[in-house]
């Protein structure tokens, strides 16, 4: 049967163990190359008659060129049995790489895998480099470079959010968005090129300022795309939630309660926590990194002092600060002053930035009287206007949460809301997101080029110059999805892949 092979068909056949190499139920080996089925057919035997080869060609004809799986006996050149295996044939071009692919599932013993691999080597195949299967898929037009990066992230990401972003990229959401912006640039280029090549009576008067609105639009789309990188990092790595406050506020107790196990040491001695603790936390499929810190106070204790410095450092890198206030044993009339004093002291010490969120959490609810619990929201509302004038007081969430360690549902709910505010639509819809530094750099170059082009237009510079710089922006966007001519760039990208992918 004649099959179409892609660009990479001049390459040799490659193989790799695509699953774990540890002892396990199955070891899955993957082979990709040209005319693979013919080569391998000599070693594949029918289980019903172990002296008769399986007629792969006939099977593929019956399946109309679709992938087929078979239970077979695999023997080496000396007719020694390697293993009874499940083998799947994926004919070119409808395979992952665009070449013929064979997947062989042997019993998951490293010795059996070694026997299979030595057979493959002895018949002229070689061990694949990391990511080489996907590289061939890109070369054969099965996917673009951005999608390939999505595949790599799908495997490496450690969060549910990361999986969703990677999935969107694999589905081509980012590729489509860059294509749309690139098309806009191409339409500007065609206007400029027309005026370079033709006289005004043929193509109308030359008025490059007419391109400015389109340029603004392309730039704002690119800037929105650029922002998805840092937001995407929050989604992928988890939104950082730091529990901060004075000693004994109940930070470590809430840390344990949210994690649902006794991770941090809790005592009634103020200054118990000295170091920063970090753990992953998932609430309603949202990924967080929960951080417990040492209580902030003036202290002469050397170790505690270092702990406090670390707490303040953590405050500066957290996405959400849960500022914990303990109102245990505070008279009702003094509550407002205590809240104001603690928040002001914190805001004056911590170095915050405008995109952080602060949620005020009143701890030890079970120790507070009903009057406090009932009126705390109103008391807080009357305080909050004062904080607006404080540096970074505007980061304060206008909500206040009263919680005990017994029931943290309300606190969790607020964390989910703040997560959504920080990550926006990125986790909700199939929105494009930049998922690698490489992609981010390409978008930054395109934005810079558009800025330069706008300046050239305003200075009434030559259309050739404007065109050349817009073309550079177009090329940079093109490189997000592919069209990279430098082999070393490709090599760098695929070197971070797993072997067998």
Ligand X SMILES: Nc1nc2c(ncn2[C@@H]2O[C@H](COP(=O)(O)OP(=O)(O)OP(=O)(O)O)[C@@H](O)[C@H]2O)c(=O)[nH]1
CB of 294 to ligand X, least distance (A): 6
- Using alpha carbons, select from 239, 305, 242, 237 the residue that is nearest to residue 271: 305
CB of 248 to ligand X, least distance (A): 5
Instruction: Report if residue 252 touches Mg ion, rule: CB under 5 A.
Output: yes
Choose the one of Mg ion, ligand X, none that binds residue 363, judging by a C-beta under 5 to 8 angstroms depending on kind.
Answer: ligand X
Instruction: Report if residue 312 touches ligand X, rule: CB under 6 A.
Output: no
Residues in the chain: 501
Tell me the C-alpha distance between 377 and 365, whole Å: 14
The phi, psi pair for 281, rounded to 5°, reads: -140, 135
CB of 410 to ligand X, least distance (A): 13
Instruction: Report if residue 295 touches ligand X, rule: CB under 6 A.
Output: yes
Is the Cβ–Cβ distance between 264 and 292 less than 8 Å? yes
Instruction: Report if residue 251 touches ligand X, rule: CB under 6 A.
Output: yes
Tell me the C-alpha distance between 164 and 179, whole Å: 21
Interface residue with ligand X among 247, 291, 339, 383 (CB under 6 A) is 247
Beta bridge mates, 93: none
Instruction: Report if residue 262 touches ligand X, rule: CB under 6 A.
Output: no
Interface residue with ligand X among 363, 431, 476, 478 (CB under 6 A) is 363
x-or-dash pattern for Mg ion, window 269-298, by CB under 5 A?
A: ---xx-------------------------
Total binding residues toward Mg ion, as defined by CB under 5 A:
4
Tell me the C-alpha distance between 475 and 479, whole Å: 6
Q: Is 394 exposed, middle or buried (0-12, 13-18, 19+ CB in 10 A)?
A: exposed
Question: CA Rg, the chain, in Å?
Answer: 31
Instruction: Report if residue 311 touches ligand X, rule: CB under 6 A.
Output: no
Choose the one of Mg ion, ligand X, none that binds residue 405, judging by a C-beta under 5 to 8 angstroms depending on kind.
Answer: ligand X
Choose the one of Mg ion, ligand X, none that binds residue 250, judging by a C-beta under 5 to 8 angstroms depending on kind.
Answer: ligand X
345 to 384, contacts with Mg ion by CB under 5 A? none
Candidates 86-94, 249-257, 313-321, 436-444: pick the segment binding ligand X (CB under 6 A). 249-257
CB of 398 to ligand X, least distance (A): 23
Tell me the C-alpha distance between 228 and 206, whole Å: 36
CB of 311 to ligand X, least distance (A): 9
Instruction: Report if residue 253 touches Mg ion, rule: CB under 5 A.
Output: no
Q: What is the arrangement of strands in the sheet containing 357-362, beginning at the earlier edge strand?
A: 277-283, 286-292, 239-245, 320-325, 357-362, 396-402
3-state secondary structure 239-258: EEEEEEECCCCCHHHHHHHH
Instruction: Report if residue 194 touches ligand X, rule: CB under 6 A.
Output: no
Candidates 44-52, 251-259, 340-348, 384-392: pick the segment binding ligand X (CB under 6 A). 251-259
Instruction: Report if residue 364 touches ligand X, rule: CB under 6 A.
Output: yes
The phi, psi pair for 403, rounded to 5°, reads: -145, 160
Contacts of 73 (CB under 8 A, 6+ apart): 44, 45, 46, 47, 50, 81, 84, 85
275 to 294, contacts with ligand X by CB under 6 A? 294
- 271 annotated as a binding-site residue: yes
CB of 370 to ligand X, least distance (A): 16
Q: Is 401 exposed, middle or buried (0-12, 13-18, 19+ CB in 10 A)?
A: buried
Of residues 221 and 263, the one with the C-beta less far from ligand X: 263
Instruction: Report if residue 252 touches ligand X, rule: CB under 6 A.
Output: yes
Choose the one of Mg ion, ligand X, none that binds residue 247, judging by a C-beta under 5 to 8 angstroms depending on kind.
Answer: ligand X
- 248 annotated as a binding-site residue: yes
Beta bridge mates, 281: 288
Candidates 263-271, 390-398, 441-449, 493-501: pick the segment binding ligand X (CB under 6 A). 263-271
Is the Cβ–Cβ distance between 106 and 63 less than 8 Å? no
Which residue has its beta carbon closest to ligand X? Answer: 295
DSSP symbols for 14-66: EEEE-S-SSS-SEEEEEEEESSHHHHHGGGEE-SSSTTSB--HHHHHHHTTT-
Total binding residues toward ligand X, as defined by CB under 6 A:
22
| DSSP 8-state code for residue 474 | H
Tell me the C-alpha distance between 289 and 381, whole Å: 29
- 450 annotated as a binding-site residue: no
Interface residue with ligand X among 97, 117, 152, 273 (CB under 6 A) is 273
| 362 three-class SS | strand
Kindly list the residues in this chain that would bind ligand X in the complex (CB under 6 A).
Answer: 247-253, 266-268, 270-273, 294-295, 363-364, 366-367, 404-405
Kindly list the residues in this chain that would bind Mg ion in the complex (CB under 5 A).
Answer: 251-252, 272-273
Annotation: binding site for (6S)-5-formyl-5,6,7,8-tetrahydrofolate: 30, 103, 142, 501
């Amino acid at each position: 049967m004649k099959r179409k092979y892609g660009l990479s068909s001049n390459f040799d056949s490659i193989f790799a163990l695509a699953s774990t190499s540890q002892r396990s139920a199955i070891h899955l080996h993957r082979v990709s190359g040209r005319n693979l089925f013919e080569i391998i057919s000599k070693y594949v035997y029918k289980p019903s008659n172990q002296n008769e080869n399986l007629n792969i060609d006939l099977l593929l004809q019956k399946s109309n060129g679709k992938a087929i799986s078979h239970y077979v006996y695999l023997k080496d050149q000396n007719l020694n049995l390697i293993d009874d295996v499940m083998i799947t044939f994926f004919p070119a071009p409808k395979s992952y790489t665009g070449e013929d692919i064979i997947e062989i599932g042997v019993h998951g013993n490293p010795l059996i895998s070694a026997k299979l691999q030595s057979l493959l080597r002895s018949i002229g195949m070689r061990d694949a480099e990391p990511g080489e299967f996907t590289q061939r898929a890109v070369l054969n037009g099965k996917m673009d470079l951005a999608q390939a990066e999505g595949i790599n992230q799908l495997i490496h990401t450690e969060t549910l959010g990361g999986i969703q972003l990677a999935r969107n990229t694999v589905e081509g959401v980012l590729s489509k968005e860059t294509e749309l912006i690139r098309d806009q640039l191409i339409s500007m280029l065609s206007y400029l090129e027309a005026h370079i090549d033709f006289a005004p009576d043929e193509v109308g008067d030359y008025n490059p300022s007419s391109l400015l609105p389109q340029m603004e639009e392309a730039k704002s789309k690119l800037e929105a795309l650029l922002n998805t990188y840092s937001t995407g990092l929050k989604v992928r790595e988890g939104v950082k939630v730091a529990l901060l406050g004075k000693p004994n506020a109940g930070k470590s107790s809430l840390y344990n309660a949210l994690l649902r196990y006794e991770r941090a040491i809790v005592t009634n001695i103020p200054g118990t926590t000295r170091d920063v603790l970090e753990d992953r936390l998932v609430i309603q499929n949202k990924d967080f990194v929960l951080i417990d810190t040492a209580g902030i106070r003036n202290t002469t204790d050397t170790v505690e002092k270092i702990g406090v410095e670390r707490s303040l450092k953590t405050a500066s890198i957290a996405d959400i600060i849960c500022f914990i206030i303990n109102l245990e044993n505070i008279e009702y009339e003094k509550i407002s002053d205590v809240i104001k004093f603690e928040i002001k002291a914190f805001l004056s010490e911590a170095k915050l930035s405008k995109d952080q969120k602060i949620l005020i959490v009143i701890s030890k609810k079970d120790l507070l009287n009903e009057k406090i619990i009932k009126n705390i929201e109103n008391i807080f509302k009357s305080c909050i206007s004062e904080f607006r004038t404080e540096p970074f007081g505007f980061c304060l969430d206008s909500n206040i949460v009263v919680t005990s360690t017994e029931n943290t549902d309300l606190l969790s709910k607020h964390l989910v809301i703040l997560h959504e505010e920080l990550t926006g639509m990125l986790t909700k819809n199939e929105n494009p997101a930049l998922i690698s530094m490489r992609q981010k750099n390409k978008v930054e170059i395109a934005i810079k080029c558009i800025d330069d082009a706008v300046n050239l237009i305003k200075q009434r510079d030559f259309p050739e110059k404007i065109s050349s710089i817009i073309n550079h922006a177009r090329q940079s966007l093109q490189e997000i999805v592919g069209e990279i001519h430098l082999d070393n760039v490709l090599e760098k990208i695929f070197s971070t892949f797993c072997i067998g992918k």
